[in-house]
């Protein structure tokens, strides 16, 4: 749906922009993060432009926009709740992965430990403790005062970063299994 598909009185955007400070304050009282409040306000402005034709002739543009803002805030919290549920479920699924095979450690690329130094410290830490160490993801989360879902996401992102760094460092050796790697990080 294009913005041009709805007719909007040209004075309404000006009225809404004149109330920007009040609208932002309204959102900031309902969300903790100032940047997030700004994002929600911008999203609401876009919705107002897209749905401007829904404003009734006898309705106040400001009251109509407050409804749009409330809905945008509700949508934000719904999305966040859904994301948190998915992250928790993923974290619990990662907790129940089978134990590491000790023979696999004998064939792991010798570059991994050196490549870890090129990663973000938080990523290197979780890889050292969980993937190379003997700590479960749940125990890692507890030790670092984070949720299992957060630990799962961090481990996933750390593994992606490790893969990218190994591909950069080791090239096709890393892409094809890294079984007898003799390369060294740059």
133 falls within a domain = yes
Residue 108 has pLDDT above 90, yes or no: no
CA distances from 96 to 90, 91, 152, 153 (A): 10, 9, 12, 15
Question: 118-131, pLDDT tens digit by residue?
Answer: 888 999 999 889 88
Q: Are residue 110 and residue 51 in the same domain, yes or no? A: no
pLDDT of residue 181: 54
Q: Are residue 81 and residue 111 in the same domain, yes or no? A: no
Mean pLDDT of the chain: 79
Q: Are residue 86 and residue 116 in the same domain, yes or no? A: no
Q: Are residue 123 and residue 47 in the same domain, yes or no? A: no
- pTM of this prediction exceeds 0.85: no
180 falls within a domain = no
Give yes or no for a contact between 100 and 54, defined as CB atoms under 8 angstroms apart. no
Q: Are residue 43 and residue 66 in the same domain, yes or no? A: yes
Share of the chain above pLDDT 70, in %: 77
We report the CATH number of the domain holding residue 114 as 1.10.10
Mean pLDDT, rounded, for 8-32: 87
Q: Are residue 53 and residue 126 in the same domain, yes or no? A: no
Q: Are residue 8 and residue 67 in the same domain, yes or no? A: yes
73 falls within a domain = yes
We report the CATH number of the domain holding residue 75 as 1.10.1740.10
Q: Are residue 75 and residue 134 in the same domain, yes or no? A: no
Surface-to-core class of residue 139, CB atoms within 10 Å of its CB (0-12 exposed, 13-18 middle, 19+ buried): middle
Distance separating alpha carbons of residues 163 and 144, to the nearest angstrom: 24
Which residue, of 44, 61, 95, is where some domain finishes?
95
Number of domains in the chain: 2
90 falls within a domain = yes
Give yes or no for a contact between 173 and 181, defined as CB atoms under 8 angstroms apart. yes
Residue 5 has pLDDT above 50, yes or no: no
Residue 1 has pLDDT above 50, yes or no: no
Q: Are residue 57 and residue 108 in the same domain, yes or no? A: no
143 falls within a domain = yes
pLDDT of residue 183: 54
Mean pLDDT, rounded, for 70-76: 92
Please give the residue range of the domain that contains residue 50: 3-95
User: pLDDT category, 172, cuts 50, 70, 90?
Assistant: low
Q: Which residue intervals of the chain are DSSP H helices?
A: 11-18, 20-28, 34-50, 61-95, 112-116, 121-126, 137-143, 148-170, 172-175
* 175 or 171: which leads in pLDDT: 171
Which residue, of 66, 95, 124, is where some domain finishes?
95
Mean pLDDT, rounded, for 156-171: 82
Mean pLDDT, rounded, for 39-48: 91
76 falls within a domain = yes
Residue 135 has pLDDT above 70, yes or no: yes
Which residue, of 95, 119, 149, is where some domain finishes?
95
């Amino acid at each position: 749906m294009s913005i041009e598909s709805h007719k909007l009185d040209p004075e309404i955007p000006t009225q809404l922009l004149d109330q920007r400070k009040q609208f932002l304050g309204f959102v900031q009282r309902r969300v903790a993060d100032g940047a997030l409040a700004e994002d929600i306000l911008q999203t609401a402005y876009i919705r107002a432009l897209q749905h401007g034709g829904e404003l009734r002739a006898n309705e106040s543009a400001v009251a109509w926009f407050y409804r749009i803002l409330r809905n945008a805030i509700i949508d934000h919290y719904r999305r966040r709740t859904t994301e948190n549920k998915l992250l928790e479920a993923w974290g619990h699924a990662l907790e129940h992965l089978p134990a590491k095979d000790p023979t696999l450690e004998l064939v792991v690329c010798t570059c991994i430990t050196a490549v870890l130094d090129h990663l973000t410290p938080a990523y290197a830490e979780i890889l050292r403790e969980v993937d190379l160490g003997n700590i479960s993801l749940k125990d890692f989360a507890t030790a670092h005062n984070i949720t299992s879902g957060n630990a799962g996401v961090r481990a996933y992102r750390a593994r992606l970063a490790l893969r990218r760094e190994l591909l950069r460092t080791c090239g096709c050796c890393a892409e094809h299994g890294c079984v007898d790697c003799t390369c060294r990080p740059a």
